[in-house]
Every structure is written in structure tokens, then in C-alpha cells.
Structure 1
Amino acid sequence: MPRFHCSVPLSSGDTLVLPPGAARHVQVLRLQPGDEITLFDGNGGEYAATVERMGRSDVAVNVGAHDPVEREAPRPVHLAVGMPANERMDWLVEKATELGVASIQPLMTAHGVLRLAGERADKKIAHWQAVAVAACEQSGRNRVPQVLPVRSLNDWLAALPAPGAGACRSILSFADGARSAGALLADAPASFTVLSGPEGGLSPSEEQEAVRRGFLPLTLGTRVLRAETAAIAALVALAN
């Protein structure tokens, strides 16, 4: 059954005109009055719904029963990533969402080639958030991860609060003594924040500052992975 994210709160029994994005997707699929769909608003669970009216630019639906089903990862994993260039960030956001990431923090780093600011940064964030929404619709997730505003790594590190109880911060690293994902999971943390570098990795000074801020070096093995592959591999190891 087609699934659509609705950016307004849903309630059983309502007749609702869908927001433009969801309405456009319903129209692209050429759905007709009486067709059944699934809606979710990001507040948990999903709703059965029935198309009531198809206008030229609007779609009305009747919102039915709420199903409280959850498909989230056992523990939240927040991903902070030095943005890879070209289409690789799109791919990373899509796959991270499918795998259950709780939030994504795009970062500008010393070795990163992608530099974003102002209106260009705002447009990229809106685009990546839309990628996350589409990935939720496809994968069955009912909670959309937030793609946060672009920040420099140094500014982001400086603004971090003290880690809460049960929260683990880790940084992908080849440093001697870096721990495996299994070793970090053995401590049964309630959540993870994972810092991953761009193409070329983080600079030594960036890695040192992250460790000073409480990030534990995390190893994924001896092979050098692409920036987007490393972030996804860490998410797979820690979230599920």
C-alpha cells in the first residue's frame, strides 16, 4: 500500500486536504477516490486513510484507524559526518535513514571539499530532508530523522553539551587502541553519536579535539572505506 509522509498532525476521523508534497505524490501515482493509502506524520505510528477527492492540485483524504507500530532502531544513533561531495551525500542520507539513523549533522571539515553557507546551505538541507522523507516512505519508518543545519566541525564540537548518562560518543579512527563496535556495545549505551570524516578523513588536530571532547576512537577494521561507506558501516554496526 502506498505510504506518504504528512507534514501536519493526523487524527483518526479527520477529513484532510493533504499538504502539497504528499498530494503531488498521490497524483503522480494516479490514485482515485476510494483507494487506500497509509499516512504518517512523524509523531509515531501510522494511519490508514482513504482518498476522498482528487482535484487538479489538491487531494482530500479521510483519516482512519491509527496503528501504533514502531520500526525504529533499538538505540538512537546520531550521525555527524564530514560531507562527501557530489551525489554521495544524497546516497548517505537515503541509506542512513533506511537503516534507522536518529539525526544527521552535516559538517564542514579541513579536508572536506564541499563548502556550504547561506541560501545554498539552506537549499541543500531542504533537499536532504526531502531525501530522508522519501526514504521513510519507502522503508516503512514512521519517524523522520532530522537533517540539521550545516556547521563547521570546530563550531559543532565547541557547542556540544556534556554527554548525558548512557550516551556514547565515538569517532571513526585508525588510531592505536581504537575500540571495535562490539566493545562499545558491551557497555550497553542508551545512544550513540558517531563522528565520521569526509574524503581524506579528519585532520590530526580535528581528531585530537574530538577525543578531548569525549569521543572514543572506533575502528571498523583495517580497510580504508569511502567516506559514505564508513558512516553507513558504523550505523549498521551500532544501531541494530
Structure 2
Amino acid sequence: MRVTRSFVERPLHASDTVALPEDAAAHLVRVLRLQVGDACVLFNGDGFDYDARIVSAGKRDAQAEIVGTRRIDNESPLRIVLLQGIARGEKMDLILQKATELGVARILPVDSERSEVKLDAQRAAKRLAHWRQVVVSACEQSGRAVVPEVVAPQPLGAGAAQREGRGFLLDPVAGNTLAGLQGDGLRACTLAIGPEGGWSPRDREQLAAAGYEGLRLGPRVLRTETAGLAAIAALQAMAGDLG
């Protein structure tokens, strides 16, 4: 039987008794109907799973005792950073959720010339908190014990400057192909994916100046919610943990 995993944002140690966060307690006790003595798994993003059991369960709170610790080794040997043009609502949630499941290590949401979503400081802070919760939930479901970092929304130039490894800009007419990357010993890369309107010519100039190369994934133009996920999956199959 699958044991539910819950994220707890605090240090965890064997034999600790932990007061569960309200949302985790509600899910375990009210939704899943766990009772005192039932097993669950806690994690905090440090690379370990903490086996636990419920020791108290009230209407609004619950406590769990940690009874064991296990290192989880399911991170990809290929570090992929996703530089993502901010997309609208559910599209952005989908991108973050599936990119996390596919093993992305870091996410850089960026504002660009053709971005349809414009965030002031207050909205950006709320959206960032929501995005981070989407990523945490994807880790709970997928079994990841390391939570990918989601950086605060920033202009394209600032995000592009944080490139790790080789930078790739998807382009259906680029000379570089996935097949051409095989054998290059790729261990880190940054994928630049435009928003719904794509990258503008000025955006492309900024990316090129920051060292991003065109990469042809196929002959068709993909939507923003498809492009990054397809590229991450293809790179994982070629040089990561799917290969």
C-alpha cells in the first residue's frame, strides 16, 4: 500500500514528535482518515524521507513521531534549469508540476516583451508562494525528497544571466539537435522557454548575448506548456535518469 508523503518545512530528526502543518494534518486526518498509529512519510527537502506514525489526531491538528530515516537517491545526474516565460494561471501550474515530476532542478520565471501576465510586487509575491506550493505538491506525489528552487519572477535579462551549463533556446530551424548533443558529456543545462507569445527578436538577442544556443527539438512550433516538458523529457532520456 502506498504511504502518503507530506512536506514539513522544519528540521527533522529520528525520534522527534512533530506538529504537522495545518494543511498536511487536514489531508492526512480528514481526507485520508488516518488514525493514531497509522504510518505516513514526512520530508523537508533535505534529500531524506522520514518514516513516521500518527501519535495524535484532532479536528484541526495532528502530531507524528519520526521512527526512521531514509536517504532518497532519485535526483537526475543531469541538472536542468528551466528559464520559463511566465504563462497564464493553469498553464504555469501545469508547467511547474510536470517539470518537477520530470526532475528539473531549478525554475526561473521571467518577464519578457511578449508576456501576457504582468505582475506587480504584491501579485508577484502571492504568485511565487502559490508556485512553490505547486512544486512541493508535485514532490509529494512523485517521491522527490529534494524540492526544486522556484526563484522570484524577474526580468528576462536577470534570469538569463543565471544560466547553468549550456543554455538552449528551442528553435525549429536551429542547427543543433538532440542527436548532436549525444557524447558531449552534458551534466548541466538551462532551457529557455518563451511565454504564450514566444520570444521577441529583442528577447532572442538577450538570450544569445547570455550564451544561449538554438536547439531543434523537431520541425513543429510547440506551445509554452508543451515545449519545456518535451525538451526536459528528451534531455533526460538522452543524458539523464531516463537514459
**Aligned partner of residue 138 in structure 1, secondary structure:** helix
Structure 2: tracts of 5 or more residues without a match? none
Q: Which position in structure 2 is the counterpart of 1:26?
A: 28
Matches within 5 A, 1:14-163: 14-27=16-29, 28-157=31-160, 160=161
Select which of 215, 219, 235 maps to 2:232. Answer: 235
1:168 and 2:160 are equivalent in the alignment: no
Q: Please give the alpha-carbon distance, in whole angstroms, between the structure 1 residues aligned to 2:174 and 2:58.
A: 62
Q: TM-score, normalised by structure 2?
A: 0.91
Q: Please give the alpha-carbon distance, in whole angstroms, between the structure 1 residues aligned to 2:84 and 2:140.
A: 23
Q: Please give the alpha-carbon distance, in whole angstroms, between the structure 2 residues aligned to 1:81 and 1:222.
A: 21
Residue 24 of structure 1 deviates from its aligned partner by 2.4
Residue 172 of structure 1 deviates from its aligned partner by 1.3
Letter in 2 for 1:194: L
Q: Please give the alpha-carbon distance, in whole angstroms, between the structure 2 residues aligned to 1:170 and 1:63.
A: 43
Q: TM-score, normalised by structure 1?
A: 0.92
1:188 and 2:185 are equivalent in the alignment: yes
Q: Please give the alpha-carbon distance, in whole angstroms, between the structure 2 residues aligned to 1:182 and 1:31.
A: 49
Question: Does structure 2 conserve the Cα–Cα contact (< 8 Å) formed by 1:5 and 1:133?
Answer: yes
Question: Does structure 1 conserve the Cα–Cα contact (< 8 Å) formed by 2:86 and 2:110?
Answer: yes
Letter in 2 for 1:144: V
Residue 55 of structure 1 deviates from its aligned partner by 2.1
Residue 175 of structure 1 deviates from its aligned partner by 4.3
Matched residue pairs, number? 234
Letter in 2 for 1:231: G
Q: CA RMSD in A?
A: 1.6
Q: Please give the alpha-carbon distance, in whole angstroms, between the structure 1 residues aligned to 2:174 and 2:23.
A: 49
Structure 1: tracts of 5 or more residues without a match? none
Q: Which position in structure 1 is the counterpart of 2:198?
A: 201
Q: Please give the alpha-carbon distance, in whole angstroms, between the structure 1 residues aligned to 2:48 and 2:179.
A: 31
Q: Report percent identity of matched pairs.
A: 38
Q: Please give the alpha-carbon distance, in whole angstroms, between the structure 2 residues aligned to 1:144 and 1:2.
A: 17
Residue 12 of structure 1 deviates from its aligned partner by 0.9
**Aligned partner of residue 48 in structure 1, secondary structure:** strand
Letter in 1 for 2:16: D
Residue 185 of structure 1 deviates from its aligned partner by 4.3
Q: Please give the alpha-carbon distance, in whole angstroms, between the structure 2 residues aligned to 1:186 and 1:107.
A: 31
Q: Please give the alpha-carbon distance, in whole angstroms, between the structure 2 residues aligned to 1:152 and 1:132.
A: 21
Q: Please give the alpha-carbon distance, in whole angstroms, between the structure 2 residues aligned to 1:185 and 1:124.
A: 37
Q: Please give the alpha-carbon distance, in whole angstroms, between the structure 1 residues aligned to 2:174 and 2:53.
A: 57
